[in-house]
Structure 1
């Protein structure tokens, strides 16, 4: 029996290239997250952002204390960096379990379980030694995460929702006019008349449901029908055979590993001569990375939409997914230059401020690359994270032998060269990305048929 939530796919004409999304209003029930009030949606978004921020804080805090932690515990820096590599490996491949779990049993429960696990790990890591200096690097994130856990527990609602369509609509009623005007004057002339004319008339299926109480909204167990764990995991892995999806993960991981390279060497370099930074000063150095990420996110949000619209107008009003890839041209210059500044500069003992600038520029490029990759393949974020974090594991595992074997200067010269060569893959997808998507169209629609049937 077909899933009623997606059985109407049989009536919707298939486009030549996957990626066209028709927005259909299926119901008016207040329990549907799509129909929540703006304040309710904002609270849900704040909960997700708080969870993401403080989870990231807790998993990355070790980088600032690698050297003192090694001295106090006797664990080599190489082993600590390899440990962070395994961390990224599990963050990526663990999604093959946690994504099906979240889709089946609820995102709220998944977030709470992940925070509990991280809190327990931070407390355990901070308690394994008697030294009071570095262990608070783990205690503080545990305390902050505990506060966020309570906030999410009391405020975050489940967004999984099973939509059952009960109305009827012909394929013609689903057709949308996707044409984009080719000039600003055309937009000004047509204005709201064109927008009103392009809005289709759709019969809306009604679902009658009573409004949930506060405690019902915060229910921890909200299973929904759908494919099983193993089926979802295997299906996710099969997406890796699609070139566009693999490239989205590769491009994301490509820039993240250079950030990991700097993270793996920042404590080693800045605590040594001629800088002699204390642990707190190394921690403050990460402000450069924070500023870079914020500026990168703001820059991409403004520039990407403007550039995509301009390119669509040049392309007879058709916007291709590859239009989002052009900002990679900026990162192709920023990352190699920053790696050279960091590696050669540290080897020759240049002023510490230049190293901090290099760190911030790499963070800026990482923010751009993450936004570009996720926008390119937003519906396959699990595979993007899997490929990205597998690459991060490789970098975390090999960063110390790489630096020790070649020296700081030669290591980063090599890294810059690798960055330049691998970044040019963006031009391959700028040229033939649409062809790659067309080649995956048959597999995509076979998958849709299986899900619907």
Structure 2
């Protein structure tokens, strides 16, 4: 951040962007992986939604603050201010989130050693439970010498940057974890779909971010940098409502569906709230694009942005929670797979949005985007129909990779 403030060439700019991307990348995976480690299945939707809300809202608060800050002190001091925030965050994280890592040699849904998975496990159904049961039992058996406890460490011991923990993965397992997310995308269709849903919703965020400034700074609005930052108030409100819908409401709907399903909870039960998200993403994009093309009042544009962000947060939250629900015990690797797809799609759209609306026109561009959003998110209907079959297809591979992830063998 400090180097950014002293940039004098394009080469420098690319260099510190690469460094920032490298050091900021853990936020793209560690929080998502931590949520299923800390919360139960019926709580994951809520806390995953809170994470996604915080992630996107921080991106909306930044321009809101930076716009006025840049007007008052210049853009270079905005970078210094960001560096101060990073320094404060470092102190909070280092002293407030000490290392508590623990390697659990068990599987979600497994009651005890050598017992079958519960009905809320990977396959999630009673039908065909004998099929592949032996494979699952073989995969989940925990050796008698597997470590189950470890000595409690003091607060100061938890602050040590590097420590050898009982049951830690071997170097071979760590290396495998680097390439396994790419393999998972091929062998686990449900994970690839979750990445697609998260990616398409991030794409609409990129569309929003890439068009707010050109549209609001041009006629008839002619807004300054500070006022353009205020546009993000609408998305912040939309993000909060989206988090509530994808979290609290989706969790309750999933539990209600489980009761109707004889007490068996399926990951697909979480997807039902995407119906509203599919419609509102199209409404938000069309409202923003058609409104801007026809010079509607700025209030209408902000409402459109709020509606769009509601769907962005809903789609991202549900995609992450669905991925974990499907394959909890490889959630670290599978979440990385989701992020790979998400970031690839977001990267492509961030570079393509400007020529898209420039060549097609703002109105036609956003009508097309709205239809794409509706069609893309509506693929959840396909997952409601075939999601269980896809998970059954991946089940043998899941137990194999789960055993690797748990450290039960090399």
What TM-score does the superposition give when structure 2 sets the normalisation length? 0.69
Does structure 1 residue 440 correspond to structure 2 residue 394? yes
For residues 363 and 236 of structure 1, do their structure 2 counterparts lie closer, same or farther at Cα, with a shift above 3 Å needed?
A: same
Match of 1:153 among 59, 76, 94: 94
Map 1:228-377 to 2 at 5 A: 228-241=173-186, 242-377=188-323
Matched with 2:114 is 171
What does the per-residue CA deviation read over 1:319-357, in whole Å, with 9 as the maximum and x for residues that have no partner?
A: 111111111100111011111111110011000011111
Contact between 1:260 and 1:392, CA under 8 Å: does it hold in 2?
yes
Check whether the contact 2:195–2:342 (CA below 8 A) recurs between aligned residues: yes
For residues 5-404 of structure 1, what are the structure 2 equivalents within 5 Å?
A: 133-162=74-103, 171-172=114-115, 207=149, 209=151, 211-223=152-164, 224-226=168-170, 227-241=172-186, 242-378=188-324, 379=331, 380-404=334-358
Unaligned runs of 5+ in 1: 1-57, 63-68, 104-130, 180-203
Deviations 1:209-262 (A, max 9, x none): 2x4333212111135333444311221211101110000010011111111101
* Aligned-residue RMSD, C-alpha: 3.6
Aligned residue among 398, 401, 412 for 2:366: 412
| Matched residue, 2:52 | none
Is the 8 Å Cα contact of residues 322 and 376 (structure 1) preserved in structure 2? yes
Structure-2 change in CA distance of 1:361 and 1:329 (3 Å): same
TM-score by length of 1: 0.63
In 2, Cα distance between equivalents of 1:254 and 1:91: 23
Q: Deviations over 1:167-205 (max 9, x none)?
A: x96535x776869xxxxxxxxxxxxxxxxxxxxxxxx98
CA distance in 2, matches of 1:261, 1:301: 25
Cα distance, 1:436–1:162 mapped onto 2, change above 3 Å:
closer
CA shift, 1:207, in A, is: 3.7
Q: Distance in 2 between the 1:150 and 1:437 partners?
A: 42
Q: Distance in 2 between matches of 1:419 and 1:92?
A: 32
Q: Which runs of 5+ in 2 are unaligned?
A: 35-71, 122-145, 325-330
- Structure 1 Cα separation of the partners of residues 374 and 247 of structure 2: 25
Kept after mapping to 2: 8 A contact 1:328/1:426: yes
Distance 1:449 1:212, change over 3 A: closer
Q: Is the 8 A contact 1:92 1:385 kept in 2?
A: no
Aligned-residue offset at 1:449? 4.7
CA-CA distance at 1:436 after TM superposition: 0.4
